Each structure stands twice: as C-alpha cells, then as structure tokens.
Chain A
Amino acid sequence: MGQLLILMLQGTFTSLKIFFLTLLFALPLGLLVARGRMSRHRIISSLVNIYILIMRGTPLILQLIFVYFAPYYVFGASADRFTAVIIAFVINYAAYFAEIYRGGIQSISYGQYEASSVLGFSKMHTFTHIVMPQVVKRIVPAMGNEVITLVKDTALAQTIGVAELFRVAQNAASREFSTLPIFIAGVFYFVMNSIVAKSFDLIEKKLDYYR
C-alpha cells in the first residue's frame, strides 16, 4: 500500500507539472489569441478564428496524438512525449482561455476607453491598468471552470505514454486485480480540484472590494 501511494504521488507530480506548465504558457498565449481574434485585420482575425474552431472542435486526445506523431511523419522525428503533451495542452487551453478573455474584454464599457483617452493614457496603460484588472474580475468564475477541467484533462497525457496519475493508478489496478487504486486516484483529483475551487473563491473575494 505504501509502495502504491509513493507511485501515485509520483504520478500526481507529473500531473501537476502538466497542470502548472499549461497554465504558465496558456494564460498569456490565450490573451494574445484573444487580441488576434479581435484584430481589425481581417486576415489575422479569421486565421485565429480557424485555429480556435479546430482547437475547440476536435477532441484533445486527438490533438495530443497529432502533436506527438505528426512531426514524425513530416520531419522523421518527434518531440519527447512530455514536451508534446505540454504543447498540445497549451495550444488547446489557449483557445478556450482566449474566448474567455474576449468575453471579458468585450464586456468592458466603451466609456472606460473614452475616459482613458481623454485623460491621455497610452493604449498600453489603458489596457494594463484600466481594462485588464476589470476583465480579471469578470472572468474569474469562467476561468475557475476551465482550470478545474484542466486538472482532470491531465489524465489524457497517458494517451501518448506519459505516466501521470491516472495511468499509474490503472497500471496498479491491473497489476493487483483491484479497482482500489483508481478510486484512490479519484480522491487525489478531488482534493486537487477542491484546492483549485478554494483558490478561485479566494480570488473572487479578494476582488470583491468594488463593483
């Protein structure tokens, strides 16, 4: 049992690495994608739109396989499995984050931009100091949803052979002819997501000082 828990903690560590690396890259990339989607240049906005359509319109599991195997057929070599997982997760989640950002950005009233312009703020200052702080407050609930899904989606990394938590649990289950490891994994995911949910609650409370 102790042995099993150690293995599962190692698996959890891999899951957490996928989780944090995905957030680290997808959160800023999503913002860039959102800007692209809202671009006044038709070509940029339609290319970005197609990208978002594909990312949201096909299964993540397929995207994982594609990112891992496609380079092999084109260049004769693949990225290592873990890198492929991170790339697939980042480009997938950036698309979802982008749409959440876009919703938030477009919900900010035009008057905020006009007041900023009249006061002489630069476009950059307006975006970083006036618009984005208000966007963050508005998108916290939607982001919470997406981040919780990410925790569970990390289980898909096993598709291309990365031994994350769920893979480790499944291996143990077949080794020991018991479903117990799978249920233990369930508890692990539940605990991680409880922490995520709690964190988002805290962020929401912290931003509660204005309306």
Chain B
Amino acid sequence: MVLGKYKTVVSARSTDKEILEKSQDGGIVTQLFVFALENGYIDGAIVTGIGDRPWKPRPYIATTKEEILAARGTKYNISPNISWIKEATRSFGLDKVGIVGTPCQMQAIRKGQLYPIGLREVPDKIALAIGIFCMENFPYKSIQQLVEDHAGQKMQAVKKMEIGKGKFWVYTERGNVVSLPLKITHKYEQPGCHVCLDYVANLGDISTGSVGSPDGWSTVFIRTKKGEEIWNRAIAAGCFETTPIDQVKPGLELVTKLANEKITKNKKYIEERASYGVNKGLRNPYI
C-alpha cells in the first residue's frame, strides 16, 4: 500500500490563470473545489486560510469561489481542518462537504465515516475529500523559527514556502530566496508525524502533490468512484491540462521512492517506541 489504491494517476495543472497565480503547484485542490462547487458536487469546502498571525493556518468553510481562492497555497504548519467537519453539516447546513487535508486527516475522515462516534450526520455528507502528499508537518513556532532564525526573513514578508529538491525554500515578496537543507528542518518536525505510514494520502477521493511532476504541475491520484466522476467531469469541462505520468520527469519513480523512505523510517520508529523504556514502551495506535 505504498501509493494506496488508485484508478489513474496523471500529471496536471489548472487552466485558470487566476488560480495558478497564487497556487502552490498546479492549483489542483483549488480548481477541483471551484469546479465541484459551481457544478453542485459540493455545497462548500473546508479549506485552510491564514489566521491571526502571518502563515498561521485557519481552517474555514468556504462557500463561494472567492473564499476558496483565498485559501490557495500551502501553509507548512498544523491546520485542524477536521475540527469543522460537524459544524459544516450542522451550523452551516451543508449536505455535500468538500475537505482538503493531509494523509492523517484523510485517515481521520474515513475513520469518521466508518466509525462516526461523535460525528452525527457527517458520514453520508463527505462529497469530496482531497488529500495532499505529506512527508511531515511543523508546529507554527517551528516554521517561525525556521523562517526568522534560520532563513533570516520576516514572517509577514514571506510570499511562499516550499519543500522541494531536498530543501526548504522561503520566497519573500521583495524577491529574497533562501533555502535551508532539510537536515536543519528535521528536528523542528511535529513528533506525531513520525508514526505516520502514509505519504500520498491513500484515503483521499483524489490526492495530489508536487512530487513527481515538473515545476508548476502536480501529480494527481484519482482513487475512488466519487473522485473519478468529479475528475472526469472537470477534465471534460476543460479545467485541467494533463500529461501522462510516464511522460514526465521525475515521475512516479520518485513518488514511490519518497513514499518508501517515509514508511520505512516511520515503521522503524514505531518499532523503537515499543521498547522505549526499560521493559516498557510507548503506545502503538495501529491494530
């Protein structure tokens, strides 16, 4: 299950210039939500905007194209998107909810559908769950420390952050580009990420990320029937340009390599946890 179940995988990018202007890569998530909203597949989507500090995520429920566009781009720190899932169906009255999240959040969504312990009415209302590739996440203060202390930039001056080509990149509005080797970022990672065994959001309806595709494009896995239907309609409506994944560099080979690296490393850590103390270990959540 390194790459999870999927029906098709392609390299793609949005055909909407406005979306691409501020999207992280190919604008896949934004474009899909806009298409799904405008065509009645969803009534709204839980997305990640900016909160009360620069680059601090704030999950919110977007019910218009403008609100979806306002959430473009990746914020490399924790955004509890699932916290809105019940409110979306109740306070907001949405019958068809879209949600974007990391692989662990896709796991949370599916657990919530199969075991809706505290999620009344939620299970039947998840219309489109889009997962994003994720190696690890960071607490807000980690990002602040990386940007301000290591990269020497003001948080509010940052235009874009990115992890790619083995580095953490910071781009500022005024054109500074600073890159940090991942060796530096590792110790700032969120510890909870180190038991995660999913790199490419195996449980999304659709999952996407930059890895495997050229700059400005995204690799897209179409995984479920729901995902496939919406994706095919979006393609037919001209929302995306696509290239077969075997015709792009570095392609699936890199995705598989990184997924294997993550899973192998984290499996080893889970084993280490089992004998963390003296005849005592730490919990393993997987049964």
Do A and B pair up? The answer is no
- The interface of chain A, by Cβ under 8 A from chain B, is none
- The interface of chain B, by Cβ under 8 A from chain A, is none
